[in-house]
Structure 1
């Protein structure tokens, strides 16, 4: 890794969302980085239970429960960020992003990285976000499905047709040819059937019983709005790219609206990446468990450099 080359480029820090969790995540990081270890210890103390043990040893089903997965991914991602900063200090370099962005849940990590939220407040919010989403899922059961090989317009038309039997919408525009739909079970199954008929390369029901980023989360959105209004937010030190619009947020008012609404609105990841690249971002650093976002970014813009913490020896 040529640090001189990295420092000279406009770089964006991007953070993953739910689904990136796995048992064992962050364990090696905890063992070799004092800065990362401090993040895990803070999370355990703030939450009042050993989240670090759940990350390192599972069980898988408990870690995957949305009420645990959300604070776990936030914590591991921030542990990676602090380990990277520790590494850069040891090399006497300072890499400052031009933008930060997160995919769905990862947006909260981005807000901490941008100085908008304190870690403790972010942990509280994502824990509550997970609880509220789970409650919505219990009241209105649904799910999500990945669809590969169809363009956005075709998939939106499919969702509209399938809505005759219930609510189903485009939830994540991840990259060209890769999307996620979300909604009530009957409508979701109908949309999956239609997607196969219209030539989708692959249609896969995801292992999740919550219809995230759909109107089924309206109750959670209203309650999140109330919670967010009680938490102090600061102006971002660097622009944060919004999931809902794919555009830069630079004020507290914009961020409050975004945090509440994004559980019912689709994640515009394709637009977000293009917005950053069009504004001169030449490199994207994925920070957190897994490397899913890197693959999506390469499919959105093949002319940018994509890096992960591994490139810095983390």
Structure 2
């Protein structure tokens, strides 16, 4: 969920192997392959980033290129964030009026969950609208029907619903703002001093996954399913001995990365137990989960700690449901149930509710789409995977990792990321002058 220092501008997949190249490499075979997909009629998968990709001034690149829609978007954001003045919103999203640098208070304010979630959604939707206007011509049919699939990481799922026309922008902003507010409220993060240690949070963990190389030091029994099962079993054992403890898998992001959420001490204990369990079967493995990183968040996203917000979110959604629309030309995969395509208003409501506290099966979502495309004739021209939004290069990296391990059609993974000059952002804005 949290943004990492990762950049991905272009990834070309041939069968199971992907080659990363930047747009500066314009004369090689990977560029030729990417041009073939771009100029053809590829199946399209759009994906949207979640919380953790926000940063101060994240709307400033859009203001330069799309001033009217950006200003209108900030006004719409102000409607769901009434405690912020127009001046405050402009400072946080566009930059200080006097041209000075952002200060520590700005950084803290932007990362506040109740602000970050609607701000990320707005940024992604504005970029998506520009994308449709610019790249719709890749498909000769109605541009609104050009995407076979959409997925969003956590909060990004709500963005996908807006992009697909299931929700209006105003509905998406209201839902995401309320979602963030309730998450802060249930954990007490809305009242605590920022320096206060809540004892809650998340760890990103690199999993010791076996590859198919003969020289791989990781035993073959350690596949992703086995590691997840071991962690879940250890979490259950720890909870029995320590009632009330919460240490849960929150995201399975790629074949070799997961995120755990809950009480930080409980997570540490569970990972130590998992290490011991694996070493019983493979004594030479040592400490497997030493490559873990505490994320700079104080809310245990996608854990049962947040489940109590469901009744209030349900009321919010049902009060708006009359204006929801069913997905039409685009299939949206649910984060918490990747085999399911949202097909009704109730599906939309449940996806938003479950997406507040159920795990995000991102890796499985990508695999499920690959399976559906491989089972149909829609991917004969290749598959274009496109990340849309500020920080979407990070999410694209996760897609890349999964596609490397998944037999598929020839694919091109790009991102339209206003925070990454190496992404398709430059291609997008180059014709808007």
With normalisation by structure 2, the TM-score equals 0.67
Secondary structure of the corresponding residue to residue 171 of structure 2: helix
Q: Write the distance in 2 (CA, Å) between the matches of 1:257 and 1:289.
A: 26
Q: Go from structure 1 to structure 2 and tell me whether the alpha carbon gap of 1:26 and 1:204 turns closer, same or farther (over 3 Å shift).
A: same
Partner residue of 1:56? 94
Contact 1:215 1:264 in 2 (8 A): yes
Moved more, 82-91 or 23-32: 82-91
Shift of 1:124: 0.7
Q: Distance in 1 between matches of 2:181 and 2:156?
A: 17
Q: Given the alignment, which residue of 198, 203, 209 partners 1:145?
A: 203
Deviations 1:204-256 (A, max 9, x none): 11111111111101111221111111113111122211011013111111111
Cα 1:266–1:6, aligned 2, differ >3 Å: closer, same or farther? farther
* Structure 1 counterpart of 2:307, from 218, 236, 246: 218
SS in structure 2 of the partner of residue 278 of structure 1: helix
1:225·1:259 contact (CA, 8 Å) conserved in 2?
Answer: no
Task: Tell me if 1:185 matches 2:264.
Answer: yes
Task: Specify the alignment match of 2:4 in structure 1.
Answer: none
Within 5 Å, which residues of 2 pair with 1:90-101? 94=143, 96-101=146-151
Q: Tell me if 1:313 matches 2:428.
A: yes
1:1-314, aligned counterparts within 5 Å? 2=35, 5=38, 8-34=41-67, 36-37=69-70, 40-47=73-80, 48=82, 49-50=85-86, 51-57=89-95, 59-88=106-135, 94=143, 96-138=146-188, 142-150=200-208, 151-163=227-239, 164-165=241-242, 166-194=245-273, 198-200=287-289, 202-231=291-320, 232-237=323-328, 238-246=330-338, 247-280=340-373, 282-290=383-391, 291-302=393-404, 303=408, 304-309=411-416, 310-311=423-424, 312-314=427-429
Contact 2:121–2:173 under 8 Å retained in 1: yes
Aligned counterparts of 1:215 and 1:46: Cα–Cα separation in 2: 30
**Structure 1 residue 190, shift from structure 2 partner:** 1.8
Larger radius of gyration: 2
The CA distance in 2 between the partners of 1:189 and 1:175, in whole Å, is: 21
How far off is 1:162 after superposition?
A: 3.5
Q: Which has the higher contact order (CA 8 A, sep 6+)?
A: 2
Contact 1:141-1:210 within 8 A present in 2 as well: no
- Over 3 Å counting, the alpha-carbon distance change for 1:270 and 1:6 in structure 2 is farther
In 2, are the aligned partners of 1:98 and 1:239 still within 8 Å (CA)?
Answer: yes
* Structure 1 residues 128 and 53, CA gap change in structure 2 (3 angstroms): same
Report the number of matched residues. Answer: 314
Runs of at least 5 residues in structure 2 that lack an aligned partner in the other structure: 1-33, 96-101, 190-197, 209-226, 277-286, 374-378, 417-422
- Provide the rounded CA distance (Å) in 2 between the counterparts of 1:266 and 1:119: 25
Displacement, 1:136? 1.4
What is the Cα-based RMSD across aligned positions, in Å?
2.5
| Counterpart secondary structure, 2:413 | strand
**Structure 1 CA distance for aligned equivalents of residues 310 and 48 of structure 2:** 22
Q: Secondary structure at 2:203's aligned position in 1?
A: strand
Deviates more, 1:302-311 or 1:199-208: 302-311
Structure 1 gaps of 5+ residues are none
Name the structure where helix makes up a greater proportion of residues. 1
Identify the range of structure 1 (227-236 vs 91-100) with the bigger mean alpha-carbon deviation.
Answer: 91-100
